[in-house]
Amino acid sequence: MIPNREELKGKPTGYRIDLVVFSDQRWLREASALCEPVQLEEAARDGFTRLRDRPGNASTCWVVPYPRPPVAVWHGYPFVASFHYLRDERVAEMLTGVYGYGLKTDFDCFLTATLVQHFPYRLEMGRMHYTLLPDTSARLRRVAAELGLAHRGVHDVGPTWHGDVRSLVALANASLPLVHHLLDSQFAKEPDGSWRQNWAAGEGWPVWSKDMAVMYAADIAINHLVEEFEVSNKYDVHADTEKYTFTLYHIHSQHDDKDFSKFEFFKHKYAHRDISTGLDFNLVKDYALWLAVSTWRHVKGLQQQQQQQRGMEAAAADLAWGVLGGDAMGADVVHVAEQRKEDL
């Protein structure tokens, strides 16, 4: 069982706050420009001392290269990447051995300064509205009952989890098999093994949705395992709102239509946006916009510097090779000339 509220009470293990990014190859180059790479297998062999036994309380950003969910198991179902890495024993050992508290978050998110001094005494979850119709919540409770699991009737559990690291790992371990069960038992299969959404039968967002199985699984798992938890409006706050950043902990760029929009960001809508004036960092939409654009420009600048450095190093190596080659050729000529002189 996940620890109860009394077991979770206590002082945090320290005030150093690190960012640990688990990235597949698609984003590894960008993440590595800002974060220090950690090879999981290598770090596990030395007991993660590099992460744990650092002097001082300076925060660090680590990036851990990690593969996408295996196709043979998940058949291209991408959403399980939200927490599938937490079931890896090496990852669990690293996180539980180095950190006391953790916040599991998706990639398209921003943190606020208010989070820094917040250490929850119980599990806190973000909020995502997937039970817009009562049939969805009733169906979730029915699936739980069929599996012999208790359900406390709390729904709309978001993808952001904050609390004791052991609890986050335990919740992920309980949720992953439920994702697979929901997909297999609730949705038809395609010939390639993937799962099909039957729109004609009324499946699909905003009702019973294949894409939301990863959320449904966590809903069932936490309602069975945890006696007391909170679904909070301070996490998974949409990035296009005008809420105040100092009243919440976490911003999630979801399917937002206005600034800030991750879809517009990836279409380079903000490439030439002036972010030096006209933004109010107390507002979520402006805070998210500034963080995204300024960080991306910083990353691009670092990449250009690295490219220039590699070009200079390559040019220096070519120059050194030319000098060494000329010296060696000259030495050969002198050597041959001396031999011929001796022959004479």
Token pair of 15 as six digits:
């005030």
Sheet holding 19-23, edge to edge: 19-23, 61-65, 36-37
Domain layout of the chain by residue ranges: 5-239, 256-344
CB 8 within 8 A of CB 119: no
- Rounded to whole angstroms, the Cα distance separating 84 from 143 reads 22
Task: Tell me the one-letter amino acid at 120.
Answer: P
Q: Which of 270, 134, 146 is nearest to 208 (CA)?
A: 134
Mean per-residue pLDDT for 164-186? 96
Asked whether the predicted pLDDT for residue 36 surpasses 90, the reply is yes
Asked whether the predicted pLDDT for residue 41 surpasses 70, the reply is yes
CB 42 within 8 A of CB 265: no
pLDDT band at 206 (very low <50, low <70, confident <90, very high): confident
pLDDT digits (tens, 9 = 90+) for 266-277: 999 999 999 999
Q: Tokens 């050194």 label which residue? A: 320
pLDDT (0 to 100) of residue 233: 97
- Rounded to whole angstroms, the Cα distance separating 36 from 122 reads 31
pLDDT digits (tens, 9 = 90+) for 233-287: 999 999 999 999 999 999 999 887 788 999 999 999 999 999 999 999 999 999 9
- Rounded to whole angstroms, the Cα distance separating 261 from 238 reads 10
Who contacts 291 (Cβ-Cβ below 8 Å, separation ≥6)? 110
Poorest-confidence range of 113-122, 285-294, 326-335? 326-335
CB 230 within 8 A of CB 112: no
**Percentage of the chain exceeding pLDDT 70:** 89
Q: Which of 107, 230, 218, 95 is nearest to 165 (CA)?
A: 95
- Averaged pLDDT score across all residues of the chain: 87
pLDDT (0 to 100) of residue 343: 46
- Rounded to whole angstroms, the Cα distance separating 111 from 12 reads 19
Asked whether the predicted pLDDT for residue 326 surpasses 70, the reply is no
- Rounded to whole angstroms, the Cα distance separating 208 from 187 reads 10
Strands 157-164 and 101-104: antiparallel
Residue 285 half-sphere exposure toward CB, CA atoms < 13 A: 11
SS3 (DSSP) at 115: helix
Instruction: Read off φ and ψ for residue 15, nearest 5 degrees.
Output: -105, 15
- Rounded to whole angstroms, the Cα distance separating 260 from 253 reads 7
Strands 157-164 and 123-127: antiparallel
| Burial category of 214 from C-beta neighbours within 10 Å (exposed 0-12, middle 13-18, buried 19 and up) | buried
Q: If residue 109 lies in a helix (H) or strand (E), which one and from where to where?
A: strand 109-111
